[in-house]
C-alpha cells in the first residue's frame, strides 16, 4: 500500500486494524439512506421496494397460490414473457388496470 491517505482505518472490537476505502464507506452510507427513505415512504422490501398497493397484491397472490417469493417472481416473469411472445401485453396491461393491480 503506497498511499495510506486513500484509506480510512477502523479499530474493531478485537483491536484488529481494518482498512476501508472511503468510496466503499460513502456507497454504504448512500445505500443506507436510500433504504431509510423507502421505509419512510411506507414501502416494504421484498426483492425491491414495493408500494403498499403492490404489497397487497403480493400478499393476495401468495395466499391464493401458496408460492414463495422466488416462485412468484419466476411465474410473473413467465406470464409476462408469454404475453409478450403472443402479442398480448396490451391485453395483460388492460386486465391489470381494470382489476386495479
Nearest to 35 by CA among 49, 14, 21: 49
Q: What is the pLDDT of residues 42-91, one digit of tens each?
A: 877 776 777 888 888 888 888 999 988 888 888 888 988 888 888 898 98
Q: Contact 86/98 with Cβ under 8 angstroms?
A: no
The pTM is what? 0.46
Express as a percent the part of the chain with pLDDT over 90.
4
> CA-CA distance, 63 to 86, in Å (whole number)?
28
**What local confidence, expressed as pLDDT, does residue 40 receive?**
86
Q: State the alpha helices, DSSP H only, in the chain.
A: 22-40, 52-65, 69-85, 89-98
Please give the mean pLDDT across all residues of the chain. 77
Q: Contact 27/37 with Cβ under 8 angstroms?
A: no
Mean pLDDT score, 24-33: 82
**What local confidence, expressed as pLDDT, does residue 52 receive?**
84
Amino acid at each position: 500500500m503506497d498511499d495510506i491517505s486513500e484509506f480510512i482505518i477502523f479499530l474493531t472490537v478485537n483491536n484488529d486494524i481494518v482498512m476501508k476505502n472511503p468510496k466503499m464507506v460513502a456507497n454504504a452510507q448512500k445505500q443506507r439512506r436510500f433504504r431509510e427513505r423507502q421505509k419512510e415512504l411506507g414501502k416494504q422490501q421484498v426483492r425491491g421496494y414495493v408500494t403498499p398497493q403492490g404489497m397487497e397484491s403480493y400478499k393476495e397472490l401468495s395466499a391464493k397460490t401458496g408460492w414463495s417469493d422466488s416462485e412468484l417472481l419466476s411465474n410473473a416473469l413467465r406470464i409476462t414473457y408469454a404475453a409478450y411472445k403472443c402479442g398480448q401485453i396490451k391485453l395483460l396491461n388492460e386486465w391489470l388496470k381494470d382489476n386495479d393491480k
